[in-house]
Amino acid sequence: MARLSLLRHAQAEPHAPTGADVDRALSLHGRTQAKGLAALLTAHGAVPGLVLCSSANRAVETWKLIETGLGEQDVDTSGIEVRRVPEIYGAGAGELLDLVRALPAQTVSVLVVGHEPVISHVARILAGPDSQEAALARLRTGMSTAMLAVLGVERPWAELGRGAATLTDLAEPQPGT
């Protein structure tokens, strides 16, 4: 079974010095959240082989802190392919799904680092009938910063569509981690 993890970036500052939303950096709280995400990915069996990361500063910073945290947990990150994908910033659900559908068939574990409301929307679209009910109910209100949705995928990426995956986990780092 393949695994698709959808992550909303960690908490960002409300404004960037440039005034551009795409340049917003992580807040101090967001940096703490991002550091806790490495343990969360490990605990949920969601350490990726491929990362599709929004090119927004807050998403890139989130991934960099996760990667550092994975290394601190003795996870070998040298085999993780990271792609900065400008299209994720501002993408709609269909566009994000198209990026995932275009993945090579041999890709087993993917992490998408993106933004609300599209991350939770895609998770809701993909979540099939065997999905965890409490997690699905929580998704209906959106995803908090640094929240991770983990989906099991049993069909080729190219065939992903409504109800084609199983939402197995919805988690976020514990305060202070």
- Percent of the chain, pLDDT > 70? 98
Domains of the chain: 2-14+35-171 (3.40.50.1240)
Looking at residues 30-41, what average pLDDT do you find?
Answer: 94
Q: Please state the pTM of the whole predicted model.
A: 0.96
Which long-range contacts link 93-100 to residues 24+ away (Cβ below 8 Å)?
93/118, 93/121, 93/122, 93/125, 96/122, 97/122, 97/125, 97/126, 97/160, 97/161, 99/52, 100/4, 100/52, 100/157, 100/160
pLDDT the model gives residue 44: 92
pLDDT the model gives residue 151: 98
Please determine, for residue 75, whether its predicted confidence score (pLDDT) is greater than 60. Answer: yes
pLDDT the model gives residue 177: 52
